[in-house]
Amino acid sequence: MSIEIKKSNCHYCGYLCGFNATVEDGRLVALDPDPDRYPYDPSVIARCRRWRMNLTEIDGAGRINYPLKRVGERGSGQFERVTWDEALDDISKRLLDLRERYGGKTLASAIGGPHATYWPLHRFLSLYGSPNNMGIGQICWNPRVWMDAVTCGWPTEQEVDPNLTKAVILWGTNPAESDNSLFWSVLKQMQESGVPLIVVDSRLSRTARAADYHLMPRPGTDCYLTLAMMNVIIEEDLYDHAFVKNWCYGFDGLRAHVAAYTPEVAQRETGVPADDIRTVARVFANAEPAVLLSGRGVDQLGPNTPPTVRSFSILRAITGNIDKRGGCYIQDMSDFTPEVELEMTDRLSEEGRAAQLNLGHSPLQSYPGYDGVDAETARLGKHLPVRYLTSAHPGLVFDAMVTGDPYPVKALIVMAANPIVTYANSHKVIEGIKQLDLMVVLEYYMTPTAQLADYVLPIAGAFERPVCQVHGGVANFAYGGAAAVKPYHERKTDYEVFYGLACRMGQQDAWPDATLDAAYDRMFADAGCTFNQFAEAGIYAPPVRYHKHVDRDPETGIGYAFSTPTGKVELKSTYLASLGGQAYPAPVDEAIAHADVDAGRAVLITGARKQPYWASSYFQNPEFRTLHPEPLVTINEATCRRLGVAEGDWVELSNERGCVRQKVTLGTLPDGVISAEYGWWYPEETPGLPHLSGALRCNINVLTANDIENCEPMIGSWTYNGLTVNVRRAEGEPSPETDAY
């Protein structure tokens, strides 16, 4: 018997904690937290419920171990085992045929959250000729990256420095539930030493409960709050005069723009007392330095997302917190090969570019929109990743599948995503999938989405493959590590799947490496190390440079930061205005939802994170299901009374798209606002249509929508927070018999 200890990483959340893995004859048998590798901390391990799951799930009952091919009708849930060669030969042949008939644009892809390495998929699409990669970027990550890019010239990284930072605002984010890392404990320690914690959240979240100040705006009204804070900071002369004078563009216009948005106006629109707005604005402006961090709460407000998120860049700027230690820094391009090169979007044909399903709808999130920003960042040798930031709009892609308009989308590759549960409008997603000629899903489990595939390909997970998290390649920062064991059964890495297809489809010149290890070696060569050297340390993070905006390149005389058209932080955005967008951020009233409780209508927020689950994942874990057995909708007591429901009741939540059931729990939210969990399905239940393992019974995305006409006009953000829904008491318990498809 051989026993080895291997350094490897957990991948049950984005932290990729390092473990010493005991491997017996190629099988993972024990895990010990590795104190020598980032981001080790005993409290992280103590708090985390997931890491032990690696030991069972690596060969868990529900894992997919062999390539599976559909037999019978789509949706029958019937699959047979095939060899990799059979699967890849057939998929590549069908993809080539479809391209012949409809052009490369007929292939779309769907990705999920940041739990996988997506550039191999994107490289494959670039060479195949498809611009139609889609994901959830428009409501996760992209708003922040885009708004920072147009305002400051490049994404900023908010940096809480326990020794320097004097105040922290968390806006629409709930790290007490969503962030397993050290971050939340650090914040609490800082709070004990007197650093005020301000939370802006439409619920009394776990994070908000710990706050020194909690502002609870009605969903979607946040932009009124940000503008009122600017109003106070400018009126009371609390802004950073030197930074504003030397490094900001458009301050006088901003002053005029925010004059109307007084705290009293904001109180009327948001429900937050004017005095609280004043207090928080003063605390933030007087703290030097201060951090303002935002999350999904504000990324998912549809038309109100970009103005709100851009306000954050402006608030940081006028308080002098940009490119300052303890506030935020302007990230650097990576030393290792950045995502933008790995994905090879420069190989996409003109014809492919011109066919993207967002053109004419989201001028910023598109190839031309990207090019305009890139023209500025290129002066400093920086390039944002293209694929995420130009990704096609899921509303348009699923419409094209259903209607064939503007052209047929006949093939879909789903990688590390479960769109039937996590994308907007589950029924539309299913209708689209039903029209496909070919759907391939790369998965660990037979998710509701995988149940509708033509092929389900078994993917190697944590400890079976190397991992490397690089933040989309917008920063000089990577963490991760090596595999501990060879993939079990016949699983392969996502990379190897695309490599296998590429080799069968004439893309060999773009794929010099047969394995992900080799590809990572090549990627780190630019940084002067091998992947194994990186993996030993678990992190690549050269020291951060601050205050770059005052530096000049000695040869060219070009400043390092703020690669905007004016070379300054653009409080007034020349670029957004040139695309027909808002020069100064302003709330979009038509997109703010209103409740009518007595008529049974509430304002719904969805998706607030919960432990121990992650999106639609880990519902197969019996221990987790005992801890958290039911999908919960949180409502305040007074609203419950008016709706005629009580704690513990099952309620029906419905709108024109459908109806789902969740169980009432009491909490603190504004009157008429309710918060429903997302991600629910029941892996133990019957797969295939119509039940799809219960995916339509409690999954809140049955009610959400992303029709392009209701999305934000620059990026295409849709609304997961702030929808109106009907609420009423349900008869009995939900069961498979109540499934509605």
Ligand X SMILES: Nc1nc2c(c(=O)[nH]1)N[C@H]1C(S)=C(S)[C@@H](COP(=O)(O)OP(=O)(O)OC[C@H]3O[C@@H](n4cnc5c(=O)[nH]c(N)nc54)[C@H](O)[C@@H]3O)O[C@H]1N2
**Segment near ligand X (CB under 6 A), from 244-252, 471-479, 525-533, 720-728?**
720-728
Give CA–CA dist 650/727, Å, rounded: 10
Quick one: what does residue 44 bind among ligand X, ligand SF4, Mo ion, none, with the CB cut-off 5 to 8 Å set by partner type? ligand SF4
Closest separation between CB of residue 117 and ligand SF4, Å?
Answer: 16
Cis preceding-peptide flag for 306 (omega within 30 of 0): no
Among residues 70, 115, 410, 691, the one that binds ligand X under rule CB under 6 A? 115
Residue 10 interaction partner, one of ligand SF4, ligand X, Mo ion, none, beta carbon < 5-8 Å per kind: ligand SF4
Q: Which helix (H) or strand (E) holds 29?
A: strand 27-33
Nearest approach, Cβ of residue 205 and ligand X (Å): 4
Do the Cβ atoms of 714 and 579 come closer than 8 Å? yes
Residue 51-90 contact track with ligand SF4, rule CB under 6 A, x = bound:
x---------------------------------------
* Closest CB to ligand X among residues 267, 422: 422
| Dihedral (CA of 557, 560, 562, 563) sign | positive
- Tell whether residue 270 is a contact of ligand X (CB under 6 A): no
- What angle is formed at CA 174 by the lines to CA 110 and CA 186, rounded to 5 degrees? 120
Dist. CA 96–CA 438, nearest whole Å: 12
Is residue 430 within 8 Å of residue 420, measured between CB atoms? yes
Among the listed residues 250, 337, 162, 326, the one whose alpha carbon sits nearest the alpha carbon of residue 571? 250
Site string for ligand SF4, 14-53 (x = CB under 6 A): -xxx--------------------------x---x-xx--
Identify the residue among 238, 402, 615, 666 touching ligand X (CB under 6 A): 615
From the list 178, 337, 366, 717, which residue makes contact with ligand X (rule: CB under 6 A)?
178
Say whether residue 678 binds ligand X (CB under 6 A). yes
Segment lying near ligand X (by CB under 6 A), choices 215-223, 270-278, 384-392, 641-649: 215-223
- Choices 26-34, 110-118, 252-260, 598-606 (CB under 5 A): range interacting with Mo ion: 110-118
User: How far is 642 from 637, CA to CA, in rounded Å?
Assistant: 9
Give the x/- contact pattern for ligand X in 390-419, rule: CB under 6 A: -------------------------xxxx-
Indicate the pairing of strand 650-655 with strand 569-570: unpaired
In whole angstroms, the minimum distance from the beta carbon of 394 to ligand X comes to 10
Residue 12's binding partner out of ligand X, Mo ion, ligand SF4, none, with CB under 5 to 8 Å set by partner kind: ligand SF4
By a kind-dependent CB cut-off of 5 to 8 A, residue 201 interacts, out of Mo ion, ligand X, ligand SF4, none, with ligand X
- Minimum CB separation from ligand SF4 for residue 616, in Å? 16
H/E element holding 369? helix 367-377
Q: Report if residue 605 touches ligand SF4, rule: CB under 6 A.
A: no
The footprint of ligand X on residues 589-608 (CB under 6 A) is 605-608
DSSP character for 687? Answer: P
Looking at the Cβ atoms of 137 and 320, the one nearer to Mo ion is: 137
Instruction: Kindly give, in sequence order, each residue whose CB lies less than 8 Å from that of residue 450, ignoring residues fewer than 6 positions away.
Output: 64, 414, 418, 441, 443, 456
Decide: is 616 part of the binding site for ligand X (CB under 6 A).
yes
Q: Give the separation between CA 614 and CA 679, rounded to whole angstroms.
A: 8
382 interacts with ligand SF4 by CB under 6 A:
no
How far apart are CB 44 and ligand SF4 at their closest, in Å? Answer: 5
The answer to whether 274 touches 265, Cβ cutoff 8 Å, is no
Please provide the DSSP assignment of 411-456 as one string. EEEEES--HHHHSS-HHHHHHHHHT-SEEEEEESB--TTGGG-SEE
CA distances from 11 to 43, 47, 114, 559, 736 (A): 18, 16, 10, 39, 32
Say which entry of ligand SF4, Mo ion, ligand X, none residue 426 contacts (CB below 5 to 8 A, set by partner kind).
none
Q: What is the DSSP string of 522-557?
A: HHHHTTTS-HHHHHHHSEE-PPPP--GGG-B-TTT-
Q: Among residue numbers 139 through 168, which ones bind Mo ion (CB under 5 A)?
A: 140
Query: Shortest Cβ distance from residue 113 to Mo ion (Å)?
Result: 4
Cβ burial of 204 (10 Å; 0-12, 13-18, 19+) is middle
| Distance of alpha carbon 256 from alpha carbon 239, whole angstroms | 15
Cis peptide before 690 (omega within 30 of 0): yes
Q: Does 467 bind ligand SF4 (CB under 6 A)?
A: no
Chain residues 448-477 in contact with ligand X, contact rule CB under 6 A? 459
Across 94-204, the runs of DSSP E, i.e. the strands, are 107-111, 132-134, 156-158, 167-171, 197-200
Q: Which two tokens stand for residue 646?
A: 């009580």
Stretch of 110-118, 151-159, 187-195, 253-261 lying at the interface with ligand X (CB under 6 A):
110-118
318 binds, among ligand SF4, Mo ion, ligand X, none (CB under 5 to 8 A by kind): none
* Contact assessment for residue 56 and residue 12, using Cβ atoms and an 8 Å cutoff: no
Site residues (vs ligand SF4, CB under 6 A): 10, 12-13, 15-17, 44, 48, 50-51, 180
Site residues (vs Mo ion, CB under 5 A): 113, 140
Site residues (vs ligand X, CB under 6 A): 112-113, 115-116, 136, 140, 171-175, 177-178, 200-203, 205, 217, 219-220, 222, 295-298, 300-301, 415-418, 422, 442-445, 447, 459, 494, 605-611, 613-617, 675, 678, 700-701, 704, 720-722
